[in-house]
Amino acid sequence: MDNQKSCAIIGAGISGIGASIRMRNKGYKVVVYEVNAFPGGKLSSESNKGYRFDMGPSVFTMPEYVDELITLSGKNPKDYFNYVQLDPVYKYFFEDGTVLDSFHGKKGYAKEMAAKTKVKEQEIINYLDKTEEMYELTAEVFLHNSLHKFKNFFTKAVAKGLINFGKIGAFDTMNGANEKAFKDPHLVQIFNRYSTYNGSSPYLAPATLNVIPHVEIVKGAYYPIGGMYSITSSLVKLGKDIGIDYRFGTPVKEIVIENGTAKGIRTNHGIEKYDVVISNMDVYNTYHKLMPTAKKPEKILNQPKSSSGIIFYWGIKHSFKELGLHNILFSENYREEFDTIFSKKTIYHDPTIYVNITSKHTPSDAPPGCENWFAFINTPNNEGQDWDKLIDQAREAMIKKVNRILKTDIRPMIECEMVFDPRVIEKRTSSAFGAIYGNSSNNKFAAFLRHPNFSKKIKNLYFCGGSVHPGPSIPLCLLSAKITTDLIK
């Protein structure tokens, strides 16, 4: 097979892994280059003193996109990857003592929320019906196709979307739409929080992003057996089984370009020629670090970046029955919290805390009677702040809030600690400025301001991952891999 075409993939993030499997199934010889000694990018895992932690994404929706890669490869999904549906998905804690469970499905969700807020069941169902309609109008247009190929605009899905453009919330903010829908501040805050799924503010991002709760509440959220890292490990095993070559600890130094065409990559071992190059590296860093002399799409690359985060990975010598897998401890003033993050570029004194505890479903992730806490707050991206100082402030604020809401004292329960801040995220995952989600979505045209999945200037060069179309999250990154590889003949 001397005439077999070859493909280099830069980065073994979830999108790069997905792209590698699809390219291998197209008949390409595929080599994946990863700077780290492990796969997954943000979707990785580490252990400390008997506690195992998923280091990044922790909410799993649309498992069919993982199954699809396995089926595409002629394998049985159950032989590689298994998961269970969550119900409830989230537990929400408010400073006024209100505790709400987010159940799966419109009826179950509406019944719980109506019982504990001032909103009627039918009002909630009506709202979820609207988010479902928005999803149906936008999914085919934005999620399954390139927005940067002219021919894709001449389809029935696009025509339907244009006819119903007024229904997708492009000219309102998420908060504006949610305040119109609900008089109860608890529900407004719950639906506003979905802006954080792509690192944006609900007071700036378009109401179109209210499709996100439809995916989680109605289509469902799941727990991968063994934790989130099993997504990565399962797909890497599949890749190896079908002949993909993964080269860990092998940083790419340059994308080799000759006469306007990507011809390969350069590593510490020299230049290697390829017919196709796909970068799963953050697109900003792809241009600035791997193609420093190439003409850059400055307007897209210089768009405002998303938020980042500070994460404490705590081994907790206690078991809290009141907590579930996914927990949110809300701040009292959400608007001020987001203004602090995006305008003042610092952390809020009373941050909303997300706590993920996989030992609730995988007991071996923590010693008996203990829990592995992934405790996360939203922060600005890295613009040179004093992160050591902010980490200390965040730790104190988070401990005080947890103690106040759970009526406990977790300080003596913290047996071990690891910390990620925007600097660590940037170094570990090549995310420019530590922005977890690439560009922010804090304007109505954000969907059109992501980099395309291909280069308009350089032939045979393609891009996938959360920093390009269609955006961040595990499902979108897997769709990015599909869109990208579908462009390659």
445 vs 150, 155, 206, 351, 355, CA distance in Å?
17, 21, 8, 28, 32
Question: pLDDT truncated to tens, each residue of the chain (489 aa)?
Answer: 468 999 999 999 999 999 999 999 999 999 999 999 999 999 999 999 999 999 999 999 999 999 999 999 999 999 999 999 999 999 999 999 999 999 999 999 999 999 999 999 999 999 999 999 999 888 777 766 766 565 655 566 555 655 555 556 677 999 999 999 999 999 999 999 999 999 999 999 999 999 999 999 999 999 999 999 999 999 999 999 999 999 999 999 999 999 999 999 999 999 999 999 999 999 999 999 999 999 999 999 999 999 999 999 999 999 999 999 999 999 999 999 999 999 999 999 999 999 999 999 999 999 999 999 999 999 999 999 999 999 999 999 999 999 999 999 999 999 999 999 999 999 999 999 999 999 999 987 776 678 999 999 999 999 999 999 999 999 999 999 999 999 998
Residues 194 and 240 in one domain: no
Q: 145 and 212: one domain?
A: yes
Identify whether 93 is part of a domain: no
Q: Are strands 90-93 and 326-329 parallel, antiparallel or unpaired?
A: parallel
| Whether residue 211 sits in one domain with residue 127 | yes
Looking at the structure, tell me whether residues 283 and 250 fall in a common domain: yes
Specify the pLDDT at position 138: 82
Domain that holds residue 192: 123-217
Residue-level pLDDT at 1: 45
Do 202 and 157 share a structural domain? yes
pLDDT at 160: 60
The domain tally of the chain equals: 2
Q: What is the per-residue pLDDT for 444?
A: 75
Last residue of a domain, one of 180, 196, 217: 217
Does residue 239 belong to any structural domain of this protein?
yes
So what's the pLDDT on residue 38?
97
In a domain, 464, yes or no: yes
Nearest Cα residue to 375 out of 419, 406, 407, 333: 419
Q: How many CA atoms lie within 13 A of 423 on its CB side?
A: 9
Q: Any idea what the CATH number is for the domain that residue 14 is in?
A: 3.50.50.60
Looking at residue 166, its pLDDT comes to 57
DSSP string, 252-274: --EEEEETTEEEEEEETTEEEE-
> Are residues 243 and 213 located together in one domain of the fold?
no
Encoded tokens for 151: 């021919």
Of 160, 183, 217, the one marking the end of a domain is 217
CB 303 within 8 A of CB 448: no
